[in-house]
Amino acid sequence: MVSKACLVGIYQRKLEEIARHEGVELRVVVPPYWRDERGVLPLERVHTQGYDLVVERMALNGHFHLHFYPRLSRHLRDFQPDLVHLDEEPYNLATFHGMVLARRAGARTLWFSWQNLLRRYPPPFSLFERYCLRYADGAIAGSHIAAEVWRAKGYGGPLAVIPQFGVDPQRFSPSPRQEERPFTVGFAGRLVEEKGVDLLLRAAAGLPGAQVAILGSGPLRSRLERMAEELGLDDRVAFLGTLPSPEMPVFYHQLDVLVLPSRSRPNWVEQFGRVLVEAMACGVPVVGAESGEIPHVVGEAGLVFPEDDWEALRDLLVRLMDDADLRAEMARRGRERVLAHYTQTRVAEETVRFYRRVLRLPDLQDVV
């Protein structure tokens, strides 16, 4: 597997679960760090048992569409894989480069995509995409909407719908509420316009006594801080920066509700909302905008409101603030939904089953 996403320590739990399956020998190539608008994200070594985690230099680090691994071919020669899982979008150089090398080495290939908008790309990205759609032996989409996009774009091979990562329900688990603290609403994610944090601030202005905890970084932080002050919230809103991924449960345990107020843009729609399943696993009720995959992720376990409607969001938060029984019921349903659909074990099982399909091997469940 080639994956910059597996820099994140808690995501590596899926790799351990994949490696536990009979007949699987796994090597994962990751860069030493990834750079984006939040800064530099270094490699976290948290779950590294049972497989080979290899750190390899990345060219053009920070360029989402143009990065690649110049020395990937040596790992293919050394490891001689039967299947190369390229954990990148099919229009990226890293995917095209990896597929060319893998096919030259005689390995089957698959790629992963979150892309849930039917977009056309200019060269060379359109050429990368055309090659990857034509020659991939399989593909994994992170959502049903993404799967529909790639079928519409002409991909006709084996295709599975599997979230990229699940959660570890032992690490992300409920904790008793500290009764003496005030009602606390949280957000975790990038501080960018499409994540809708401004809507949360406007809604919070109508929640007397409630605290707001905002975890994350991004270019809008200073503007959001000014907005909180203008709304009279500066003593009730805390901008907490970022946390290492293994420490995220500590943040969720401080909350009474997590909000993901995403808003769609012409070039972006919420692809999944991982913080939703993490919070649900921790027994925290979740509220999300009707953006992209959010309603499908929360199902009947969470509450949703129309995009950009901060008044509707405020009304839902008031309802939750006033109804402890509703919060308890949502916490129960959320945890049950995660255990049924979104654990790392479940995601790994479905991924390995798809590997066997791509390799044209029988599913072990079908072997007597």
Q: What residue spans define the domains of the chain? A: 5-166+343-366, 184-341
- C-alpha dist (Å) from residue 246 to 45, 279, 295, 337: 10, 13, 26, 21
Q: What is the mean pLDDT of residues 349-366?
A: 87
- Please tell me the pTM assigned to this model: 0.84
Note the pLDDT tens digit of each residue in 138-196. 999 999 899 999 999 999 999 999 999 999 999 999 998 877 889 999 999 999 999 99
Options 3.40.50.2000, 3.40.50.300, 3.30.2130.10, 3.40.1030.10; CATH of 5-166+343-366: 3.40.50.2000
The reply to whether 184-341 shares the fold of 5-166+343-366 is yes
Can you say how many angstroms the Cα of residue 200 is from the centroid of all Cα atoms in its chain?
Answer: 21
Note the pLDDT tens digit of each residue in 57-93. 999 999 999 999 999 999 999 999 999 999 999 999 9
216 dihedral zone (left: phi>0; alpha: psi -120 to 50; beta): left
What H or E segment, with its residue span, contains residue 148? Answer: helix 144-152
The confidence score (pLDDT) of residue 366 equals: 44
Options 3.40.50.1460, 3.90.76.10, 3.10.129.10, 3.40.50.2000; CATH of 184-341: 3.40.50.2000
Amino acid sitting at position 202: R
- d(C-alpha 345, C-alpha 25), whole Å: 17
Cα dihedral 40/46/51/52 (nearest 10)? 40
